[in-house]
Amino acid sequence: MKRFFNKRALQILAIAGIAAYLASCSFYEAEWPAVKEEKDRKKAPEFALKDASGETAKLSDYRGKVVLLNFWATWCGPCEIEIPWFIEFQRQYKDRDFAVLGVSLDEDGWKSVLPFVAREKVNYRVMVTNEQVDQMYGGVDSLPTTFIIDREGRVASSHVGLASKNTYRQEILTLLGSPKHESPPISFNRPPGDLRADLFRPSR
């Protein structure tokens, strides 16, 4: 009986762990062309965080560029899917005033982040977040969470969960002033959850 109880307890703990993982890591969001009209864009909150080299990275340093700001973690499966796309975007569009910024939510900070960045050969600037930055961006509690910021430092679109590669590319090219050549994004027929601030609310 004791052995059965222990086995049952382990099963319950495993199910609880899986549920917690799925709750914090969002695999898909409903997709549509999400770049807001200029009049509807709100200023992205300023932040200053240390990058992997110990230098301070500020969002205002990137004024005049299109920025993809990605909140992620090394343990997040959907984040691992997106990161190679972001590496590709950084390589393709960096000479056109575009930059990717990654902000990690790993609780142990650089201990997990540095090996991951080295292994994946991440070619863009990565920082580790703090509670203040999380709150400024509405309280990031689902990963990945990504903001596309225009040249004037305003949030042009946001994604909670895994968006498609083509969706990101279309939005980037729109803000860079290039025609969109990609096929329409795939819809997963799942409505997005209510977001906490207007800057999270994608336009329709």
User: Cis omega before residue 115 (within 30°)?
Assistant: no
> What distance in Å separates the CA atoms of residue 150 and residue 41, rounded to the nearest whole number?
9
Q: How far is the C-alpha of 17 from the C-alpha of 73, rounded, in Å?
A: 17
Mean pLDDT by 10 residues, the chain (204 residues): 46 46 48 78 97 96 97 97 98 98 97 98 97 92 95 96 95 83 40 42 43
Tokens describing residue 157? 């679109």
**What is the value of pTM for the model shown?**
0.74
Residue 130 makes CB contacts below 8 A (sequence gap 6+) with 49
Side chain identity at 22, as an amino acid letter? L
What whole-number distance in Å separates Cα of residue 184 and Cα of residue 167? Answer: 8
Sheet holding 42-43, edge to edge: 42-43, 154-160, 145-149, 66-72, 98-104, 125-128
The pLDDT assigned to 84 comes to: 98
What domains, with CATH codes, occur in the chain? 26-200 (3.40.30.10)
Q: What kind and span of H or E run contains 182?
A: none
Note the pLDDT of residue 34: 72
Kindly list the distances between the CA atom of residue 85 and the CA atoms of 22, 93, 120, 167, in Å, as whole numbers in the listed order. Answer: 22, 12, 12, 11
